[in-house]
Structure 1
Amino acid sequence: MRGARALTMLTDTDLARYCARLGLDTLPPATPEGLARLQSAQLGSLPFEGIEPFLGHTPSLAPSDIAAKILHRGRGGYCYELNTLFGAAMTAAGFDARRALARVLQRNPEPGARSHLAWIVRIGDSRWLADTGFGGPGARTPIEIRPGEQAAANGTYRMTRNETLGEDVLERLTPDGWQKLYSFDGASVTDAEVEAANHVAATWRNSVFPWNLMVAGFDGDTRIGVFNRNLTEETPDALSRHDIADAAALGRVFDRIGLKAAPDLLDRVWQRLENPLPVPA
């Protein structure tokens, strides 16, 4: 990995805590199988959550702050936090990886800003898209960057090419056909660009995070997604949607995906849901 200060963040104590929270005895080897194991373990253990932007704060990307929040306080994070942590773990495990800034295409009719952080990992002659911070229905295991359909642990995915943008596109097969998730290229990404993208995602009027509660994680093989007061539960065989009735019910959802939220934080989140701010025109 090239020159990013945030990638050297894991102390020995942090690394031990990281492995313990993921249920790993040690980091896996730098192989395709090891990468799949690491990504799947993090996605299954560390929830996605955009609570800070929803409450009006920009998450800190300082290594010590990410470690304290996620590893020691039992919280989650969104892509800039989760994938920075994932990158540090890959560094410690010996993977050859570089960051990628991606355009989210899910539910977006036109390509927008590069607002999502992911990873391109080179293993031998192959390149893999590795991602532990996508709040949508991303792959639970890495996807090789090549044409053709690929089976992941939670569905069928493929890579296509947008020649106009010069970007690869990650797509997922749904009952309604192929759904575009996001696109990315192989350009170098600096610390400054990640800091800027984090600020934009947390504060921009056109960003989804300041105006909506977004939380996601896994309860075993069940993927749980929260969008404001809407709860989605997806298994390999079924999809269900429910309304979240009150703060206690939201807290139970957090418990299912391993997201620790102190009572005062849960109360502030629920008050914000009950008193939404208007999205600027």
Structure 2
Amino acid sequence: MTPLTPEQLDAYLHRIGHSGPVANDADTLTALHTAHTLNVPFENLDLFLGRAIALEPDALFEKIVTRRRGGWCFEMNGMFVRVLQTTGFKFTLLAARVFDEDDNPGPRSHQLQLVRVEGRDWVVDVGFGGFGLIAPIPLEEETVHNQFAQEFRLVRDPAGGYILQTRLDAKWDSQYVFTLEPSLPRDYEYANYYLSHAPDSIFRQKRVVTQPTENGRLKFSNLELKIWGNGGTRTVHAADDTEYKRLLREHFRLAIDEGFVDPNR
């Protein structure tokens, strides 16, 4: 993977709203991760715009930075890995199994990273579409991490590996499970193709746009927008695609000019 040029790095930092120093330390890792998750939404809209999900480095930069779009895990973490490489961080690519509504783990279909800095391993993930991390957390069991309005922890999986959990409604909810077995970029290409093309892929069934906020979280599922924050939940229903696009601009700062299509047509 080719590192970003100085001009590209500056453009990325501007995209995520980071104006502080950039160094090879835990403070910078936390600042970059937090800025990315709070400013670049998880979204699968390209599937409904008739576009392929491209993972080539230049395609990711053009989409996320130049066109100020978001993306799903392989795009978001793929872009962030390039930033890590450019700024000198040491990292290992990992893959996770996402839990379904019945708490069953699925196939390895989610990308995350383990970053080694200042003698510690950190779990880094800027691209999870559920209730995912806002900032990186150390690879430590049972430690509770408060990140704005949300709490996270890692617990050991009885079958091996680690489970990322988020506290929801006074209970811990498992998001995904991962081991420390390294992955290769081609592993993500296979998963990306399946999620993009399989008729039973959840990402072909509904538009999803989600993003954490300092007060809670936003989630657009088809035409229903849920806003978590300040101890409550508010739901907004878009009457049509015109209102849907207006809400995308208002809440996620996403500008979509094209018309939406059915990816299963």
Normalised TM-score (structure 2): 0.91
- Give the aligned partner of residue 171 of structure 1: 165
What's the CA shift string for 1:223-278, capped at 9, x where partnerless?
Answer: 2111112211112422222322222221122112121212xx2x325xx4xxx959
Q: Distance in 2 between matches of 1:251 and 1:69?
A: 18
Q: In structure 2, what residue type is equivalent to 1:104? A: V
- Count of residues in Structure 1 that have an aligned counterpart in Structure 2: 263
What's the CA shift string for 1:176-228, capped at 9, x where partnerless?
Answer: 51100011111111121111111112112332111111111256645211111
- Give the aligned partner of residue 159 of structure 1: 154
Q: Distance in 2 between matches of 1:205 and 1:100?
A: 26
Aligned pairs (5 A) from 1:241-252: 241-252=235-246
- Give the aligned partner of residue 140 of structure 1: 134
Asked if the contact 1:119–1:131 (Cα under 8 Å) also holds between the matched residues in 2, the reply is yes
**What SS is found at the alignment partner of 2:12?**
helix
Asked if the contact 1:141–1:153 (Cα under 8 Å) also holds between the matched residues in 2, the reply is no
- Give the aligned partner of residue 201 of structure 2: 207
What's the CA shift string for 1:15-42, capped at 9, x where partnerless?
Answer: 1210111122366322222211111101
Which range moved further: 229-238 or 62-71? 229-238
Gaps of 5+ in 2: none
Percent identity over the alignment is 27
Among 234, 253, 256, which residue is 1:258 paired with? 253
Q: Distance in 1 between matches of 2:255 and 2:51?
A: 18
What's the CA shift string for 1:18-76, capped at 9, x where partnerless?
Answer: 01111223663222222111111011211111012345543011111111111111211
Aligned pairs (5 A) from 1:1-281: 5=1, 8-25=2-19, 28-55=22-49, 57-148=51-142, 149-164=144-159, 166-218=160-212, 221-255=215-249, 256-262=251-257, 265=258, 267-268=259-260, 272=262
**What SS is found at the alignment partner of 2:256?**
coil
Q: In structure 2, what residue type is equivalent to 1:268? A: F
Asked if the contact 1:53–1:202 (Cα under 8 Å) also holds between the matched residues in 2, the reply is yes
What's the CA shift string for 1:126-162, capped at 9, x where partnerless?
Answer: 2111111111111211122111222223311111111
Q: In structure 1, what residue type is equivalent to 2:23? A: P
Q: In structure 2, what residue type is equivalent to 1:155? A: Q
Q: Distance in 1 between matches of 2:227 and 2:115?
A: 30
Gaps of 5+ in 1: none
